């Protein structure tokens, strides 16, 4: 029987992906410490409306909502910058004291609300850790110290002093909160963050992706897809993030793909919605007999395996698809000012027009050798995207957390079902 924990860590989740990574880590820390290090989860649903409460409830872990100064009617990201700053300034009075109840903090992303807690914990000399779930390899080519960045840095420093807003003291980009360890999914993310000046990066893999490496049976296809080469299109949550130009571009892109499928007899288009994307944007797909729209709640891995190829702009799922033995194609039309990050991997085809996409699809759908050759090239590329230790990431991260905290860890491997309180 495990003892009552004498040390407690707070795990903060902004989205469901973080729940999938942090719950296994929390349980591994508790199990490896022999029950001496307990845990509690803080949900950022009051700020970001991401369904974290529901995911934590399903996981069966103790949790509470990180409070706001007053209830928000929509996500913080949907407010104007002035409105969001007002919410944050008022909310720090109820958020900051939470950090004092714990012996350390583990987070996923580090938006300003999370930084309130991280910086207070660091001020008190308590360790903070970050388990980062995204790829971010585009920073390898886009990270530059510009005049605009310098101006914003000075403005942040002024506001930090003038408003007493400690959470504004670090740069606004991710993983800039000075955590003792930043655990990432693979070498590409690690190099990107190090190029951006982030210290203490550890390439362990993250538990969110462990299931990709577990053997599984091929799922059956729905009857209406039978005999068709199924194209899975994965939209991003551009509108949710406020990237309206990119949202309109994505809609144009999908309509062009749908028109291409309509003119062909051998393709079926499958669109799986993003958890943060409004399904109403895709209502126009419903009447089409050559297309299927799937809600965000459908399991992504199952859908990938039901389809033949994955199409997206820059989703991490492009890499996930390859691990699941389905080739991926990055779609980059209509033309945009930014550079598609998948170009930098070299092995992934990046389509600049619907005509180019149709040519590649016709080739791989009719020639199994070309299909397998594309997948083989992409499998080489994703070796840097997902760390080899991903299936055991929870234990690796837990051991390093305990080492930093000076807590002895059990020598034997632990079960992912290890418990804590």
Phi/psi at 23 (nearest 5 deg)? -65, -50
The lowest-confidence range among 162-166, 223-227, 297-301, 365-369 is: 162-166
Of 354, 131, 332, 329, nearest to 250 by C-alpha is 332
Rounded Cα distance between 217 and 11, Å, is: 33
147-184 pLDDT tens trace:
455 555 556 555 655 566 676 766 667 888 999 999 99
CA angle 181, 185, 188 (to 5 degrees): 100
Rounded Cα distance between 319 and 322, Å, is: 5
Place of tokens 């995204």: 134
Residues near 97 by beta carbon (within 8 Å), at least 6 away in sequence: none
Strands (E), 101-210: 104-107, 128-131, 181-184, 201-203
Which domains, from first to last, does the chain contain?
Answer: 7-205+387-405 (3.40.50.2000), 218-381 (3.40.50.2000)
SS3 312: strand
pTM score of the predicted model: 0.86
332-359 pLDDT tens trace:
888 776 666 666 666 678 899 999 999 9
């Amino acid at each position: 029987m495990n003892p009552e924990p004498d040390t407690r860590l707070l795990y903060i989740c902004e989205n469901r992906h973080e729940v999938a990574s942090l719950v296994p880590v929390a349980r591994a820390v508790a199990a490896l410490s022999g029950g001496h290090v307990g845990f509690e989860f803080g949900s950022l649903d009051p700020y970001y409306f991401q369904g974290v409460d529901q995911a934590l409830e399903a996981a069966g872990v103790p949790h509470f909502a990180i409070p706001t100064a007053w209830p928000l009617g929509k996500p913080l990201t949907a407010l104007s910058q002035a409105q969001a700053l007002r919410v944050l300034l008022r909310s720090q009075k109820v958020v900051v004291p939470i950090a004092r109840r714990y012996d350390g903090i583990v987070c996923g992303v580090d938006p300003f609300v999370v930084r309130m807690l991280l910086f207070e914990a660091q001020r008190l000399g308590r360790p903070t850790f970050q388990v980062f779930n995204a790829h971010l390899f585009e920073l390898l080519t886009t990270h530059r110290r510009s005049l605009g960045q310098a101006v914003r840095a000075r403005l942040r420093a002024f506001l930090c002093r003038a408003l007493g807003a400690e959470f504004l003291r670090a740069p606004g980009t991710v993983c800039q909160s000075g955590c003792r360890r930043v655990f990432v999914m693979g070498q590409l993310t690690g190099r990107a963050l190090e190029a951006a000046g982030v210290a203490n990066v550890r390439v362990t893999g993250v538990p969110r992706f462990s299931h990709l490496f577990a053997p599984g049976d091929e799922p059956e296809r729905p009857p209406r897809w039978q005999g068709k080469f199924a194209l899975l299109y994965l939209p991003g949550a551009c509108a949710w993030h406020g990237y309206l130009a990119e949202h309109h571009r994505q809609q144009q892109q999908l309509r062009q793909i749908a028109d291409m499928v309509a003119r062909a007899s051998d393709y079926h288009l499958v669109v799986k919605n993003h958890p943060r994307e409004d399904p109403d944007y895709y209502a126009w797909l419903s009447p089409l007999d050559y297309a299927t729209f799937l809600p965000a709640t459908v399991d992504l891995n199952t859908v990938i395996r039901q389809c033949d190829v994955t199409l997206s702009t820059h989703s991490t799922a492009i890499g996930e698809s390859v691990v699941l033995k389905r080739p991926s194609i990055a779609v980059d039309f209509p033309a945009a000012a930014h550079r598609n990050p998948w170009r930098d991997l070299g092995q992934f085809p990046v389509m600049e027009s619907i005509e180019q996409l149709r040519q590649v699809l016709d080739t791989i759908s009719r020639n199994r050798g070309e299909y397998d050759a594309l997948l083989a090239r992409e499998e080489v590329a994703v070796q840097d995207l997902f760390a080899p230790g991903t299936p055991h990431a929870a234990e690796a991260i837990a051991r390093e957390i305990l080492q930093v905290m000076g807590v002895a860890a059990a020598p034997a491997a632990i079960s992912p079902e290890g418990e804590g309180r």
